[in-house]
A and B are shown apart, each in its own frame.
Chain A
Amino acid sequence: MSLLEVRGLDITFRSDTLPVTAVSGLDLEIAESEIFGLAGESGCGKSITALSIMGLLPPNASASGSILFKGMDLLTLDKESKRRLRGKEMSMIFQEPMTSLNPVLTIGYQLAEVLFTHLDMSKRDAMDKAVELLKAVRIPSPEIRVKEYPHQMSGGMRQRVMIAMAVACGPSLLIADEPTTALDVTIQAQILELIERLREERKMSILFITHDLGIIAENASRVGIMYAGRLVELADTADIFNDPRHPYTIGLLGSIPKGKGTQLRPIPGNVPRMQDLPEGCKYENRCSYAISACRTAEPFMYKVSEGHFARCIRTDEVRWNS
């Protein structure tokens, strides 16, 4: 059974003029103890999808559809029950470890707070547990670090603290929104290894949001590619990289330099603003496969093979050629 099941998710922002749709008809499932990678360029709706799962949408946004987590629909759940889930059953880490920690509280207190809020621990026990958690995320000399403030730590250390906080109550779902984007590449490798180890030890599912397909290739078991608020391709990681079947996925892969001498094939044009998307397929105006039928109706997700879907009417002809 899937741990998380998103069905027909629409997210809309109110604005002074017309409402803006940020996510439209999103379907995805995350199985127990898997890493699901959600990838796409800025503005494609991947972060806002994560926020809607956490119930953290900004006040001018609203979501419809359904988000089933362990059988409960998060979109209809009352505020108080959602608050109890957040931080305990599901938690989230963000891109900016510098701004997600409170600068005036010790990191020990910030870790303990999660524990005495959700698990009814005494403050003293929670502080002891905080040291253990720092040890679990491999922070050297945790007994000393626990009394320090965020500004005394490096970016990589702060992200470790965020991870410790996120896994403190043993959540079944961890949402990681670009957790390594602000970090240097050697530190990124350490954090990715840590996340993978914690997932194995604790049997967590992870929704990993990133723009870096390299991270997806090495860490995720399944992948969803988003464009303009839509999921355009969904497959096992190996299938996405070995046999991409949506022109946008091919465009993304063709944009990544793969050593000298290979041809870079960028996607022409720019990502359109959400207010003026094409009528039919949202990628039609940048797509080299586009035909007139693409302009009239938005395509469904077509089945390519077991577990592999692409939102393209010509997916049978779409192929990667190197």
Chain B
Amino acid sequence: MELLRVEALKKYFFSGKGFSGPDKVLKAVDGVDFALEKDSVLALVGESGCGKSTLARLVLRLTTPTGGRVFFKGQDVFAMGREELKSFRKSAQIVFQDPFASLNPRRTVYDTISEPLIIHKIGKRQDHKDVVAEILRTVGMGPEVMTRYPHEFSGGQRQRICIARALAVSPEIIVADEPLSALDVSIQAQIINLLMELKKSTGISFLFISHDLRVVHYLSDMVGVMYLGRIVEHAKADDLFARPFHPYTEMLLASAPKISVGDMKKPEGIRVASAGGEAPSPFNIPSGCPFHPRCPKRFGPCDRVVPKLRESEGRLVSCHLWHNPE
């Protein structure tokens, strides 16, 4: 079943009004389409500034789009009225990157996790202690932490509390915006295992925003690769990592340092970075394919014709190599 559908979603930011002449337009998200099936994990990957976090906020109606629509179970999220919106808020939750900034330092763990229960009138107040204890258990924490404050916890434990808060209302989808990047590797692994267990035991779907390809490969069913506000490749995780179609995906995978344990060979000579150049400013997106100035495989139409995201061998890719317009 389709849980979430995003159609031609756009978010532009305007700046520079005044002395410096006309408005400058930053196209953070520029025409994105995707769907998220129930009981699955869709990861959005890309480098900083590609629009993945803006997209996460749009999906949850935490910001208004410049154009396009988001449907949650067939309902237009931006056309929802008060009551519908409240029930959407209950079904869709978010976990942020920085667990140090996303918990109120003056509230105990109990206050933090029980607040969504109160807002959404779930259960009786006198039962909340038991409910919170049960939620804490699912994220691997004991009931004794309820009376403690965020500063008493490490980063990994705080992220568990943030996940517990998101779980409190039994959501159907959790948007996780770089939930691991503030954590050390050994703690990251604990949280990854926790997310995998939750997915298995509760059937929650995840929209997982990350720049870490290893984690994405491990966690997700589907992957959307973003570049300058657009999805350039959308495929099953296994297919994408086995054989990237878009030259940008290829560049990303080649740039990530590889690790193998037990059968590592000593590196020989200088590893030549496959990546040329840097991503241009999103204020100034190149003509034609936005990736063409950095692309080692560019040819005729690339600097003139904007490629569309089209199907090719069971996945979506926006590259003229796969659909030559001429």
Asked if B123 is an interface residue, CB under 8 A from chain A, the answer is: no
A85 contacts partner chain B, Cβ-Cβ < 8 Å: no
In chain A, what residue has the closest Cβ to B270?
A196
With a cutoff of 8 Å between Cβ atoms, the chain A residues found around residue B189 in the complex are 254-257, 264-267
Cβ contact within 8 Å between B264 and A241: yes
Contact B270 A264 (CB under 8 A): no
Check: A156 CB closer than 8 A to any chain B CB.
yes
Complex interface: chain A residues within 8 A of B251 (CB): 186
Considering the complex, give the chain A residue whose CB is closest to the CB of B248. A186
Considering the chains assembled together, what is the distance between the CA atoms of A138 and B157 in angstroms? Answer: 43
Q: A185 with B270: in contact, given A244-B261, A255-B186, A267-B186 (CB under 8 Å)?
A: no
Cβ–Cβ < 8 Å partners of B219 in chain A = 257
- Binary interface profile of B, 187-201, with partner A (CB < 8 Å = 1, else 0)? 111101100000000
Tell me the complex Cα distance, A320–B261, Å: 8
With A189-B275, A257-B217: A218-B192 Cβ-Cβ less than 8 Å = no
The segment from B59-67, B83-91, B252-260, B301-309 that touches chain A is B252-260
Smallest CB separation, A248 vs chain B (Å)? 9
A184 — which chain B residues lie within 8 A by C-beta?
A: 47-48, 211, 279
Cβ 8 A contact of A185, one of B188, B252, B267:
B252
Least Cβ distance of A129 to chain B in Å? Answer: 25
Contact A270 B154 (CB under 8 A): yes
Query: What number of A residues sit within 8 Å (CB to CB) of B?
Result: 50
Cβ of A194 to closest chain B Cβ, rounded Å: 8
| Docked-complex contact A322 and B261, CB < 8 angstroms | yes
B47-A185 in contact (CB<8A): yes
CB distance from B265 to the nearest CB of A (A): 7
Bound state CA distance, A211 and B150, in angstroms? 25
Does B263 interact with chain A (Cβ within 8 Å)? yes
* A214 lies within 8 A of B157 (CB): no
If the complex has contacts A41-B186, A259-B217, are A322 and B262 also in contact, measured as CB distance less than 8 A? yes
Q: Which of B157, B261, B274, B275 contacts A187 (CB 8 A)?
A: B275
11 pairs, CB–CB < 8 Å, chain A vs chain B: A193-B270, A193-B273, A212-B257, A213-B259, A214-B257, A218-B271, A238-B265, A255-B186, A257-B215, A258-B260, A264-B189
- Quick check: A214 and B258 within 8 Å, CB to CB? yes
B241 within 8 A of A: yes
In contact, A214 and B256 (Cβ under 8 angstroms): yes
Complexed CA–CA distance, A305 and B260 (Å): 21
Partner of B261, one of A212, A241, A270: A241
Q: Which residue of A lies closest to B220 (CB)?
A: A260
Contact check, B270 vs A197: say whether CB atoms are below 8 A apart.
yes
User: In the complex, which of the residues B192, B241, B278 has the most CB atoms of chain A within 10 Å of its own CB atom?
Assistant: B278
Contact among B215, B241, B259, B278 with A214 in the assembled complex (CB-CB below 8 Å): B259
Report A253 CB to chain B, min CB distance, Å: 5
Q: Is A251 an interface residue (CB 8 A)?
A: yes
